[in-house]
Amino acid sequence: MRKTTVITIANQKGGTGKTTTAYNLAYALTNEGEKVLLIDFDPQGNLTMCFGIEQPDKLPYSMFNIMNAMMTDEPLPSPEEYIHTQGNIDLIPSNIELSVAEINLRDEMGGEKTLASLLEPMKSSYDYIIIDTNPSLGLLTINALAASDSVLIPVNPQLWSATGLTQLLKIIVKVKKRINPHIRIEGILMTMCDTRTNLYKEAFRLVKVYYRETFRIFDIQIPLSVKVGEANFYSQSIIEFLPQSKVAIAYQNLAKELMVNGS
């Protein structure tokens, strides 16, 4: 029987490369022969647009419709109506309406497990499910954590602060205690790294000082490159767009490391 790993990409800060990491990690995993489902769980819909869906707000079905149907006990649309496919990657898209679903979750009994309930019967079809979250620690992020086996935390050394990361870690600990005892922290992934700068060197040093005794800090780091933005513009992963680039190779190595470690 297929064992599915559900990974949430989370950091309450914007600009840390969550969406880029979700998309490129998914593509790298499919290069290793894995079947992947991407979940855009951010009302901004950036992952959906990376996937080539230019006007997410005009989608007839998105994550909002699915979450809303589950909360109101209405029949779900058929998967063919809301799952979009590129090669070996499937996507459940999102748009700004998902922010309404987050408001509705406040009044929903057991609402923090809504996404987990959706994903459970889908696991048999995928090796990996990767959830891209919004830059907050609200109910959408808690839903994602409740549905996940692990959390991968991208950190931009230019934006890093110990306080911000500590808040996220506290939420993960609470979710583990109260909702999802199986969740673990996959590790901290340094993204958009310009290793020549003193800012990078100091931020990386501090990350290691604060966290290396507790969490894995990936040896693999994602370099800073304008080519990533170009790839996103053309709705391609960097691995498709420029397969020999340092960024593409880094994401491919990240996928291999996750697989070797049983994630």
Residues 12-29 pLDDT 10s: 988 999 999 999 999 999
Do 79 and 37 contact (CB within 8 A), yes or no?
A: no
Query: 162-182: per-residue pLDDT in tens?
Result: 677 889 999 999 999 999 999
SS3 state of residue 42: coil
Within 10 Å of residue 54's Cβ, how many Cβ atoms?
Answer: 9
d(Cα 67, Cα 76) in Å, to the nearest integer?
Answer: 9
DSSP states of 199-255 as a string? HHHHHHHHHHHHHTTTS-B-S--PBP-HHHHHHHHTT--HHHH-TTSHHHHHHHHHH
User: Which pTM was predicted?
Assistant: 0.95
Do 215 and 187 contact (CB within 8 A), yes or no?
A: yes
**Residue 249: its pLDDT value, please?**
97
Place domain 5-258 in its CATH homologous superfamily. Answer: P-loop containing nucleotide triphosphate hydrolases (3.40.50.300)
pLDDT tier for residue 10 given thresholds of 50, 70 and 90: very high
Query: 183-208: per-residue pLDDT in tens?
Result: 999 999 999 999 999 999 999 999 99
What distance lies between CA 6 and its chain's CA centroid? Answer: 10
Q: CB under 8 Å to 250, separation ≥6 — which residues? A: 220, 221, 222, 223
What residue spans define the domains of the chain?
5-258
Q: What is the mean pLDDT of residues 225-237?
A: 93
Burial of 180-218, coded b for 16+ CB within 10 Å and e otherwise, reads: beebebbbbbbbbbeeeeeebeebbeebeebbeeebebb
pLDDT tier for residue 58 given thresholds of 50, 70 and 90: very high
